[in-house]
A and B are shown apart, each in its own frame.
Chain A
Amino acid sequence: MTSADSTSAIMTHDKVEYATFYVGELLLGVDINQIQEINRQLNLTRVSHAPNYVRGVINLRGDVVTVVDLRAILQLPIVDISHENRNVIIKSGDEHIGLLIDRIADVVVYKQDEIEPSPANVGSVDGAFFKGVCKLESELLILLDTEKVFDMDASAAASSSVGMD
């Protein structure tokens, strides 16, 4: 359903590896090929006047990297940084961007045909940032559309206009 080109990994390979992690109660997954690294570099410098979902910037081996708080994107309450928090560094366009997550989980492998289109929302969370779901025995793995997350402002505008229909 969502942008086919950004999911080229899914199209070309039959099986895709996902790194999974928790944000609040949600189990989220990102194609492992998109991830540069996962680290605990959370020595954040707050940036005034930045959008509310930007938690701050970090020094990633000499580059200044924006850290986006997934909780803010998914409209969950913001919490203090704990020892379980991780930074998932993703290459997006010319820059690296960090996703602040609550807790890291496993790497899982899925076939393309096991992925279902994402519902309009999952619980109270807007489905605009998801590109599909996989059903596990006990819970639902939500595949995150990172480009939509990073393009937050545009996506928000788009999804609200869709909502009007």
Chain B
Amino acid sequence: MPSENDELLDAFVTEANENLVDVENDFLLIEEAGANIDQDLVNKVFRGIHSMKGTSGFLGLKSIGKLAHEMENVLNLVRNRELVPSPKVVDVLLRGADTLRNMVNDIESSNDVDVSSHVRELEAVVSGETTPEVQESMNREIDVELSNGDLIFMMISEQALISRQRQGGSIYIIIADLVADVQSKDQTPLQFLRKVYDAGELIDSYVSTAGLGDLDDDLPGALDFMMLVSSTNSREELAAKLDVPQDKIHHIASPKQTDWADQGQPREPSADTADVPVPASTQKEATTPTPEAATPKSPAPAKTPSKSTKPPAHASAAQASLRVNVKVLDTLMNLAGELVLSRNQLMQTVEKWNDNGLKSVSTRIDQVTSELQEAIMQTRMQTIGTVFNKFLRIVRDLSKTLEKQCDLEIEGKDVELDKTIIEAIGDPLTHLIRNSVDHGVELPGIRVERGKSPSGKIRLSAFHQSGKVNIVISDDGAGIDASKLKKKAVEKGIITEEEAEDMSEREAVRLIFHPGFSMAEKVSDVSGRGVGMDVVRTNIEKLGGTVEINTELGVGTTITVKLPLTLAIIPSLVVRCGEGRYAIPQVNIRELVRINASKVASKIERVKDAEVLRLRGSLLPLARLSAVMAVQSKYLDPMSRKLEPNERENIVDRREGAESPDSAAAELRTGNDQRGDTAAGALNIIVLEADHLRYGLIVDGLNDSEEIVVKPLGRHMKECQCLAGATILGDGQVALILDVTGIASHIHLAKSDADANVGEETADTEVSEETQAVLLFTNEPNEQFSLPMSLITRIERIRSDQIDSVGGLGVLQYRGSSLPLLSLEDHIKAKPRPDQDRLNVVVFNISGKEVGLIAPQLIDISEIITHVDTVTFREPGVSGSVVVDGKVTRLIDIYELTEKAHPEWFANRPTFETPEGETTRILLAEDSGFFRTQVTKYLETDGYEVVGCEDGLIAWNTLQDPEQRFDMVVTDVEMPNMDGLELTRKIKNDPCLSYLPVIAVTSLAREEDIQRGYEAGVDDYQVKIDREKLLAAVTKHLKAYQLKAGLDRAPVSTGGKSS
């Protein structure tokens, strides 16, 4: 219990301190007012002390409770005008408050403090300053029992009850179950107590410990919290307000019949007691003749110092933090956002001036602004411990209910997250934790059978990683059975049987995030609670986070939640549509696709009423932002640099229009079209993903990536589901933030649409020509080059001054290491790049090293058909040329280029050593001349002899030739006459050839394709065209083959080496 209570204690200390600060001033005001009692003020103080009393009783802080109780009694008399708050009275109260503060600040040892002197003082005040009747009733203690005779509260001051009844309150006994009524309704006991305070006054309370065993025992099913409450609410109202069953609320008509009837009732006619309270005239007489009140004063000062020697350490700790109104923080946050925007504007303006003084000042402002923003963000940070702590109890109770044994280990409580995220993450995490106990951890008996310890281990940890907070929930339970999930998904009609077969285990596990897929409702009702994992996922994604799940059957499950540190500032892409600009959160963006005017017709299809894009063999539903936002789409006229209306709203119209004026205009587009605006005819498509839905959004133009400050939209725009808010851009204009999920539902994009695509994919790929995705760029603006997309690790945008020259080689310093850079003009026949401030660097991984190629101006990503001219521009580093959009484009061979620049990197690459000087012969089946040349070249550089064949049939015939001996077959998959898979099957079924290793090299990279390849019998499957990987695979399989050959077979081939 202690660790869990720490959180409650902390909350109590903070709250009590807050109350006490006000109390002191209020006591002084009460004293000033004298008999002219300010009812509201006294009530306020009363409530403060009262809530301290109630909570301390709950927390077992007996001394605080006792003192607060006595102070409350005095205040109650004041409130009822039965006691005049003379300076003497207030003195005693203030001293009591001081002691309370000392005790609160040293909460651990508060129970050791002797408050009896204060109690005596306070009692003396009551006896000295009030009428005998009041005293009598104060001192008379009665017992309160239920109608069935159960004695619940003993020795309650009768006065406390009478005065409350006189104020129109009824007396209730409420027996709340801390487990069923408080904990399981996801509230802390403190929150529950606050509800009680709101509904009435808590006269006395205690936690019934009757049913409790040792601390080590599991908690009992019920933990009764007994409360004696006075309230003006009816029983029904109380039940509703406190969310407690009505049968646990007992109305006490008259506490202990006899006592009440005899003594309480006669005085009930309020007239006589109500007269006692002192009009101003009688006040002095009442205060002066009380010498007793003064005498007990003396022991108190002696007490206070002895106790106040301890707290200083705590006091200073308390001063180190300061409670600030959240509103102030929000304002600060907004202002910081403002400052960031103004800073951006300033920086833009300063760029244009060439004043060094101004530049250095603005750089300083830039820096300070960033730091200031960070510091302000810091103020909103809270530790995740507040969320984590409640899980101890949840796990404990839940495992008890389920008859399981679970230990919860918590790590990283100190990790901080933005307040809003802390508030929102509680529910999803609770659900995940419940799942771990319910579905993860097995029953003790089963665990023992499986050789595990009977008690399951659940680990909950939080840590920082690359600017995000990771929360990991792992259990050592049963894990998730992917095949069961698949079966269930098929039963529920979420996926088809074929899909289930093709589905990898990882994909299958992700099925649990599918809407309408709740394992819980079948297995138990504990985790279910009407929430599925899809809700968890949606909620986490709403926060800009992600959930991942890793599971091993029988070993356990690990769920990783990644959250951003803050919600207020999000990275986003600003796009243009019509004349407006819109921001799209980067988390939702999967990729950007640009379709040239000439490709629009072949890439975009119309299925019923919807436009779809052929993207790497699958169909992607498309939406036009102009249609969603109901604005006129506009394009940037390259001649006038003005926005002109885009007449053709319908892409399909362009089908025959490839040669029309549109594409002529597209030709005008040059490499310095920096803003990525759509020239007439070309399309910018942003591939978005949210809630399992993937779709393409067609926009008119792409602007910059920006960190934007999210501002809410006014209440009139609450209905705009396509918008998530607004932001203010660097130029002061408002831009709207798109809600990616909202747009999907606006255009009625259902999951089924996306599913429907799967079936069409296969047909699609079979008709498509073999193409390769390449990145087009220029070095000198008139010379266009291309790089295969498959080899690119990433693209960095840098400032030219970030490039250092070390020993004549360009090096980019970043992320704490240095990246060697290649400039095209240094290695091939290319014109030098012009000077410019910002450059792109395309990063590759070659032989385990990263290398960057400077690509000053990126043009597009395009699919090129591989009819490559391998003669005209051939040189080391350039594999050939094609014509893209009417421009000669040279294809860069990044390996050759790197090898030329850094030959030493390639010196000791492991290659297959052919035994006894024999030549290793590889048969290459490939219909594309370009790839044939390319692969042949790669293989030959490593010393293999290569025989190229134009299709599978030729390859097969060549293999049949007894004069030929081969050590390996490398084949393309898609070929005329006989495809690579058929060839492979024939080879593997031929007893004389089945020993040959077959490596498939293809551009079909989907899992199904790879699966088909392996089913056909290929030994390795390589995606076009990664030289490193291909050569590594060749080496590996040759070695294996050699080993096998040496073991069970002398070389059968009769032909020997042919030359």
Contact = CB atoms under 8 A, between A and B. Distances in A.
Interface of A: 43, 45-51, 53-54, 57-59, 61-66, 68, 93, 95, 97, 150, 152
B856 interface: no
Contacts of A58: 734
Given A54-B717, A64-B714, A66-B717, A47 B723 contact: yes
Nearest to A58: B734
Given A48-B720, A64-B711, 16 more contacts: A43-B733, A47-B720, A48-B630, A49-B719, A49-B720, A50-B719, A50-B720, A51-B719, A59-B732, A63-B711, A64-B734, A66-B713, A66-B715, A95-B714, A97-B714, A152-B716
Given A62-B335, A62-B728, A45 B735 contact: yes
Nearest to A152: B716
Interface string B700-720: 000000000001111111011
B812 interface: no
Contact of B631 (A48, A53, A66): A48
Candidate in B341, B714, B716 with the most chain A CB atoms within 10 angstroms: B714
B713 A64 contact: yes
A65 B722 contact: no
28 contacts: A43-B732, A45-B733, A45-B735, A46-B631, A47-B717, A47-B723, A47-B736, A48-B628, A48-B720, A48-B722, A49-B630, A49-B720, A50-B717, A51-B719, A53-B716, A54-B716, A57-B714, A59-B728, A59-B733, A61-B338, A62-B334, A64-B727, A65-B714, A66-B714, A66-B716, A97-B716, A150-B716, A152-B716
Interface string B613-634: 0000000000000001111000
Contacts of A152: 716
Contacts of B732: 43, 59
A53 B717 CA distance: 11
Nearest to A41: B732
Candidate in B335, B628, B631, B717 with the most chain A CB atoms within 10 angstroms: B717
B580 interface: yes
A68 B338 contact: no
A150 B720 CA distance: 17
Contacts of A64: 711-714, 726-728, 734
Nearest to A67: B714
Nearest to B338: A62
Nearest to B726: A64
A63 B715 CA distance: 14
Contacts of A150: 716
B337 interface: yes
A163 B696 CA distance: 48
B748 to A, nearest CB: 15
Contact of B734 (A49, A53, A59): A59
A67 to B, nearest CB: 9
Contacts of A49: 629-630, 719-723
B334 A63 contact: yes
Contacts of B334: 62-63
Interface in B318-347: 334-335, 337-338, 341
B714 A48 contact: no
Contacts of A48: 628-631, 720, 722-723
B1028 to A, nearest CB: 49
Contacts of B723: 47-49
A45 B735 CA distance: 7
Candidate in A43, A57, A66 with the most chain B CB atoms within 10 angstroms: A57
Contacts of B628: 48
A157 to B, nearest CB: 15
Given A48-B630, A49-B722, A62-B728, A68 B733 contact: no
B714 A45 contact: no
A134 to B, nearest CB: 29
A43 B729 CA distance: 13
A45 B721 CA distance: 17
Contact of B715 (A45, A61, A93): A93
A58 to B, nearest CB: 7
Contacts of A68: 716
B643 to A, nearest CB: 15
A102 B888 CA distance: 59
A47 B735 contact: no
Contacts of B727: 64
Candidate in B580, B628, B726 with the most chain A CB atoms within 10 angstroms: B726
Candidate in B628, B631, B712, B715 with the most chain A CB atoms within 10 angstroms: B715
B726 to A, nearest CB: 4
A52 to B, nearest CB: 11
Interface string B1014-1032: 0000000000000000000
B633 to A, nearest CB: 13
Contacts of A65: 714
A153 to B, nearest CB: 9
Contacts of A95: 714-715
Nearest to B631: A48
Nearest to B721: A49
Contacts of B726: 45, 57, 64
Interface in B734-751: 734-736
Which 10 A-B residue pairs are closest in the complex by CB-CB distance? Answer: A66-B714, A62-B338, A48-B629, A45-B734, A64-B711, A64-B726, A49-B720, A59-B728, A50-B717, A54-B716
A57 B734 CA distance: 7
Contacts of A62: 334-335, 337-338, 341, 711, 728
A61 B720 CA distance: 24
A93 B716 CA distance: 13
A51 B719 CA distance: 9
Contacts of B728: 59, 62, 64
Nearest to B714: A66
Contacts of A45: 580, 726, 733-736
Nearest to B715: A95
Nearest to B337: A62
A50 B716 contact: yes
B329 to A, nearest CB: 16
A57 B713 contact: yes
A95 B718 CA distance: 13
Candidate in A48, A51, A65 with the most chain B CB atoms within 10 angstroms: A48
Contacts of B721: 49
